Amino acid sequence: MLVFLRRFRDTRDGAIAITFGLSFLVLMLTVGLAYDSSRLTNVTTRVQTALDAAALAGAKLLDVDGGTDADVVAVATAFFNTHLSDISINGLSLAPVQVTPDRATSTVRAQVSGSLTSLFGGIAQSAPTLNFTRTVETTFKSKKIELSLVVDVTGSMNDNGKMAALKMAAKDLVDTLFATNPSPNAIRIALIPYSASVNAGSFKAAVAGTAGADNCVVERNSLDTTSDAAVGAGNWLGEGTSALNPFYSCPMDEVTPLTDLWDAGQRAAFKARIDAITPVGGTAGHIGLAWGWYFLSQNWAPMWPSHQRPRPPHPDVIKAVILMTDGIFNMSYLPNNMNSIDVAAPGSSGHQALELCTNMQASAANVQVYSVAFQAPVEAENLLRTCSGAPNYFDANSAGGLITAFREIAERLTSLRISS
């Protein structure tokens, strides 16, 4: 090879020198154009990445209550420009990014055109600039979650550290839901502590038609197991008294309507409500379950503060109830007190609970029911399994098992929300 190169060096043949010069020029142009092509690929890849991120940021805003198209455009544009600041390449020129939201399809279209000065195109008399256009369409549509957490706060929850376990599991449920980084009002949760009755708190007069001796309520006189609003004679919720049922008691813990987990203050207040729970009384599970439905029902929406009202039934809204107990449903009141554990007996707590489960799942809102038996007897396990259906039933025999059950339910719900 060295001999060949020396001969080429020493040659005086002009044709060979010219041929070599032309070949070298072609080779250099080919290398230069390949370099330009590589630069263009690098630039467009980085621009496309910024464009993808911008479109996704804008599309997510479509999922936020109250967000306008102007907000979507502003957020996507700012996101693109921020990412673009990381791209420092000589000769790059970009037109303003164009962002077009489409709410009908929950899609944001983003497009940007640009040019890159060619280092070798001008020499080759081809393209002095390399022009390009990049476009992306991103769809982001997640469902909203409205969840009622119906928890047993009866006297037996004082035993074996069960109440401490419930508080830990309930707060972990909140954290698991919040860990999905929801937008405002995307995930809301209500708390219904129940024992021998439900403490309606400041809502007592509105749902029972009278202030009464305490703030607690029981079922309706009509034993209605629908979500009809508590308005007018025959629809008011009943009041429990020791005269009506000698085992009557009113739990200290009030119900909490739908609370936005995105809001740090509301989330902290909700956890404080959980921490404050104090066990007392017998088990009127059907009353707690009914309230779980009431907080999700449009029929009851006027009863609650405006920011805590449920949405109308919609395919993009997941409505669910978690019903948890450690014991047998054994207390009911109206029209005749019936402290029976026989779920086949009309008017018993168990019988009404099963009717409620059937009705809420068959309602227009398609309420999903999840049930958790926490160190509960067989009779309670059977009732809960029938209520929710076996796929949505959880048997928790320990504090760790209760945390796992609540967490799995949260993960199921958030999976349904994001995969929509």
pLDDT of residue 279: 96
Whether 108 has a pLDDT exceeding 70, the answer reads yes
At residue 125, the pLDDT reads: 47
Using alpha carbons, select from 366, 285, 359 the residue that is nearest to residue 320: 366
Q: Which tokens belong to 195?
A: 């024992």
Distance CA 160, CA 396 (A): 14
SS3 state at 380: helix
pLDDT of 328 higher than 80: yes
**Helix or strand run (H / E) with residue 117:** strand 107-117
Q: Which residue has the higher pLDDT, 6 or 68?
A: 68
What was the pLDDT predicted at 155?
96
Q: What is the dihedral of CA 16, 20, 22, 26, to 10 degrees?
A: 150
Structure tokens at 222: 């009509």
For residues 413 and 179, is the Cβ–Cβ distance under 8 A? no
* Predicted pLDDT of residue 88: 66
On average, the pLDDT of the chain sits at: 87
Range 105-119 average pLDDT: 85
> Kind and range of the H or E element at 192?
strand 187-194
The full DSSP string for 70-116 is HHHHHHHHHHHHHHHTT---TTEEEPPPEEEEETTTTEEEEEEEEEE
65: helix, strand or coil: coil
Q: What is the pLDDT of residue 369?
A: 98
Summarize pLDDT for 330-380 with one digit per residue, the tens: 999 987 777 889 999 988 999 999 999 999 999 999 999 999 999 999 999
More confident residue, 65 or 99: 99
Q: Which domains does the chain have, with CATH numbers?
A: 2-139 (3.10.450), 144-418 (3.40.50.410)
Look at residue 353 in the predicted model and tell me its pLDDT.
97
- Rg of the chain over CA atoms, in angstroms? 33
| SS (HEC) of 15-27 | HHHHHHHHHHHHH
Q: Which of 16-30, 59-73, 113-127 has the highest mean pLDDT?
A: 59-73
pLDDT at 395: 97
- Give the other-Cβ count within 10 Å of 4's Cβ: 8
SS3 317: strand
Any idea what the Cα angle at residue 77 is, between residues 54 and 41, rounded to 5°? 55
pLDDT value at residue 304: 97
| Helices and strands, counts by H and E, the chain | 10, 12
Which conformational region is residue 285 in: left (phi greater than 0), alpha (psi within -120 to 50 degrees), or beta?
alpha
Asked whether 194 and 151 are in contact (CB, 8 A), the reply is yes
Residues 154-161, mean pLDDT to the nearest whole number: 95
35 pLDDT band, cuts 50/70/90, is: low
Task: At 225, list the tokens.
Answer: 């197991």
Average pLDDT (113-141) is 73
User: By 3-state DSSP, what share of the chain in percent is helix, strand and coil, each rounded to 5?
Assistant: 45, 20, 35
17: left (phi over 0), alpha (psi -120 to 50) or beta: alpha
What is the predicted pLDDT for the residue at 103? 84
Any residues with CB less than 8 A from the CB of 14 and at least 6 apart, and which?
none
Take residue 405 and report the two structure tokens written for it.
């059950």
CA nearest neighbour of 131 among 115, 119, 117: 115
**C-alpha triplet 152, 201, 226: angle, nearest 5°:** 65
Q: What percent of the chain has pLDDT over 90?
A: 59
pLDDT at residue 6 greater than cutoff 50: no
Instruction: Pick from 101-115, 171-185, 283-297, 332-346 the range whose average pLDDT is largest.
Output: 283-297
Report residue 307: phi and psi, to 5°: -80, -5
| Lowest-confidence region among 8-12, 118-122, 286-290, 412-416 | 8-12
pLDDT digit string (tens) for 208-225?
A: 998 888 999 999 877 889
List the single range of 7-21, 165-179, 259-273 with lowest mean pLDDT: 7-21
Q: How would DSSP label each residue in 39-61?
A: HHHHHHHHHHHHHHHHHHHHHHH
Examine the pLDDT at 20 and tell me if it is beyond 70.
no
pLDDT confidence of residue 124? 47
